[in-house]
Structure 1
Amino acid sequence: MNQGTEEIFIGRQPILDRDHQLYAYELLFRNGRVNAADVSDNLAASASVISHAFAELGIERALGPYKGFVNCDETLLLSDMLEILPSEKMVLEILETVEPTPQIIERCRDLKARGFTLALDDFVNFEEKWQPLLDLVEVVKVDIMPLDTAALAAVTKALDRWPLKLLAEKVDSREQADLCHKLGYHLFQGYFFAKPAILTGKKLSQSQLALMQLLGLVMEDADTKNLEAIFKREAGLTMNLMRLTNSVATGVATRVTSLRHAITVLGRRQLQRWLQLLLYTNPASGNVASPLLQMAAARGRLMELLANRMYPGKRDFEDRGFMTGIMSLMPTLMGAPMAEILKGVSVASDVQIALESQEGELGIMLQLIEALESGDGAKCHDLSAQLQGLDHAIINTCLAEAMAWASSIGQEKPED
């Protein structure tokens, strides 16, 4: 096997709407042997991987109710490979390197007629040559990184002539997000919502404190009545537990109808998992599909699946992997340093080391997940080489399964 072209890692980045809710994922296909930025034909090499991902790994199922954005260079755009993809789920991003020739314009018309959504990627400056494509695409991704406020406003105004959805990409701060929101952008991509925003003096809400108490009790294997007593003081948490327990992600055969029933049917291992997920929900709104929840859930499940591949049968290591992944975004949620958060909940020493310094096996696994999220194929290769029993194919399969699991959270099971 030619590892130089075939070791492709699949990554994904969330795309948010104006209400900061999850709208879609961009799927990334990155060569693991060299930096993606240095590979001119990386997308062409990824065509077979895209096919494999949808045909065998079930990424269509992994996307859940969301669409998947995929980069297309000229080779991939003209390839028959695209036609096996589920058109209703896909947004094809036409890269800025693609020249809008008559052949390309005709191909885009054909793909649009087949039901694909088209997007123009990395847009920074309006030129007349883009007009035929702008007449066809539905989304334009504006790269805000090289643009100052005036230039961004000018580009945005130039695009007003078309009924487009504008997507601001590489949004790395709340200030940038607010500016793009003010300019009328519909979609946002970047890490502004997942970056730790350490706010001095911020206190945990009563619900978060109650969840920390509940996690502690579950880890101590406390009586069900003690757990019920805390839940009953927090009606919002109880409703969210019921919603999560009745989602398709639990795999529970029967519909859970009461708090005691949920605690009994789930069992302590599953209950601990759902309590960890509840930390990312809003008790007041009942929202269980926030971007942060999706991201944390996928991280936890992926850590658990990778742990199983590394040490089959070691459920305790799987549990510690899930704990590491799910808690890795807690500083973002709680606006507090990880060291402070860990004072409120008892975790195993290797979990604490992984969360505080990203060291040890769990720490390397966490680094790997972050590299997948950022699309750094070379780093994925280096990190996976440090973890026994893992390669790009296993990691991609586990990622697809983790995404499917995370996407199904909050989707209610049909009534029996």
Structure 2
Amino acid sequence: MSIQFLAKQPILDINSDVIGYELLYRDSEENAFPPGLTDEQASARMFYETALFHGINNVTEQRKAFVNLCDKSVLRQLPNLIPRENLIVEIVERSSVDDDTIVAIAELHELGYVFALDDYDFDTKWSQLEPYLSYVKFDIPEDNALIAPTVEKIKANFPNVKLVAERIETKLQADFAFACGVDYLQGYYFAKPQVMKFRNIDPSKVVAMELVSCLTKELLDFDHVSKILSRDISLTARVIKLANVSLAFRNLNISSINKAVVYLGEDMMRKFISVVAVSKLATDKPDEIVLLGLRRALFIQNLPALIGQKESPTGFLVGLLSVLDAILDCSIEEVINKLQLQEKMANSLLNYEGQYGCALQLVKYVEIADWKNVIALIAEKFPGQEFNIDGLYVEASKQSEALLR
């Protein structure tokens, strides 16, 4: 796990309520933009290393996120990688404004993305972006007498935007800005950027983590799974090989990841992702951790069969997720946040609630041979039922080892 850094500075309205944060890239606890880093590099790292994985809404506490992007990043449609809700894309002042940039912004605007112009300097080139802007940010003049004419000039050029005055350092500046019609303020008077640290997954494991996240959905999105798999050559090869082995008796051959995923079907793909993706996440961990997760998964999946019910694929997933904190070197709460688990599954992992939580607690008691609590839990949750719990666990152990062969 690597450590990533991010800073956020609040943006406030006239009532001193925080309406959002500007997110600022950092590469250490030092609260400054890293020297020698280009806008494009900072934009990419902001998205790929921190905001995309941890979730911008989590970082900003569900408030608006103002994120700097240069024109090249916009052209590559980085914003389209994350949900548009609460995202404000700031076009930095060093951006070039050419036909390609305008077309890219127009396309994203049509999709519902919101744009702000950062550090407005009154250059006439920005007028071409006026139809796509919702915010204009500018540095507050040091001379308070210049605030009113500055605001009037910006409003004349951009009559339909919200104005954000930056570098507010005194109460007098803040009062003048609001009196002159500025909508929001940002600056050291309110708060310096707050540096946050995140533990990120090794980039080589991000694909595996995204695949595990797919398992948390009620239905597997084959197109989405195919796109994720296509980013990892080794996983792509294994899926295609698995499909072709299954098709050998029909004398058919599959060379497309999309066709392979569809042919294998939901049950097979869920099993493949469960075993292969979790194993990949644990490449630097003892094999026993993966075996432990699989034993729990199979135990919880098969437990309903003891009382005449169907096996539970959701229970299988709960068992696997219960070891991700050890695999990823983080808390189970962080796992829940990273995967954006639904409340029911989260409570199973955190509080042993519901049938899956009960089964998870039961298998943990079996692991440490706490038979007193095993008997008590069965009596409480399954009154009148007789279980061969030890046999169920032994069978889960055998199946887990077979899956990893």
Q: Tell which structure's C-alpha radius of gyration is larger.
A: 2
TM-score by length of 1: 0.43
Q: RCO (CA 8 Å, sep 6+): is it higher in 1 or 2?
A: 1
TM-score by length of 2: 0.44
